[in-house]
Chain A
Amino acid sequence: MSPVMENLTIPATERSPAVEFDFAAGRLSLKGESYPEDASAVYGPIFQALEAFLATATERTVRFDFEMIYFNSSSAKALMNMFLRLDRAAAAGVTVVVNWVSAADDETMREFGEDFSEDLDHLTFNLVESAGAD
């Protein structure tokens, strides 16, 4: 059994999302707005924690909730990098469920989710309306 990593919790700012990574439970979430001045400074630690977790997460179930309100292009690139890494983990045997959560009246955000899901072959990608989400 792989060692349990320390959770990663980063509060939201006006320009960056809240991060809640509960590695023991396999529940990860990213929530809020994302248009930071320096996307690498925000997403570098997040991606590195995800990478370290997935490297040891064989034969596990991982749920990742994305509840974004607004994001810029650098953030979109970071999200795509995360989806590709998650899809690679799924191809290697990890059960990965991504929930792309958007408000019922936010068609734009829902369409982003549809676009992101197009190139992902191994993970389960759900489009979820936030009214019904936990």
Chain B
Amino acid sequence: MAATREAGFSLFDAEERILGLAENLRRRLDDLPADLRGDADQLIEAYRRSVREQRQLVKVSDRLQGQLATVNQELARRKAEAEEALDRLKEAQETLVQA
């Protein structure tokens, strides 16, 4: 997961820490009634799924935003080319008028 983890650093470090805490807490609830343990499992799984979705959404957004930036740069390049061509056209027109 290159977009979110590099050499021990994770953009989702806080979320991973919370999941670790939740799993530790869950292990300490083994003596509780099954329905309570089931509820705790559901909450932990829902949070895990939510974090996973966040990661996927960030990845999708990054890809689209990268494409947007590339298109913007291409537009800026073509605008500069068009302005340059227009300047040359004006110069040529001026030369023709004077001739």
Contacts and interface: CB of A to CB of B under 8 A. Distances in A.
Interface of A: 15, 33, 35, 37-41, 43-44, 47-48, 70, 72-74, 77-78, 81, 84
A78 B6 contact: no
B14 A84 contact: yes
Contacts of A37: 2-3
A-B residue pairs, 8 tightest by C-beta: A40-B6, A44-B9, A73-B61, A72-B65, A73-B58, A41-B6, A77-B11, A72-B62
Q: Is the interface of B mostly helix, strand, loop or mixed?
A: mixed
B75 to A, nearest CB: 14
Contacts of A47: 9
A40 B69 contact: no
B81 to A, nearest CB: 19
B83 to A, nearest CB: 21
B52 interface: no
B5 interface: yes
Given A35-B69, A73-B65, A74-B62, A43 B11 contact: yes
Nearest to A84: B14
Nearest to B11: A77
Nearest to B7: A44
Contacts of A39: 3-4, 11, 62
Given A72-B66, A78-B11, 19 more contacts: A33-B69, A35-B66, A35-B69, A37-B3, A38-B2, A39-B62, A40-B2, A40-B3, A40-B10, A41-B2, A43-B11, A44-B6, A44-B9, A47-B9, A70-B69, A72-B61, A73-B57, A74-B58, A77-B11
B2 to A, nearest CB: 5
A67 B97 CA distance: 49
B74 interface: no
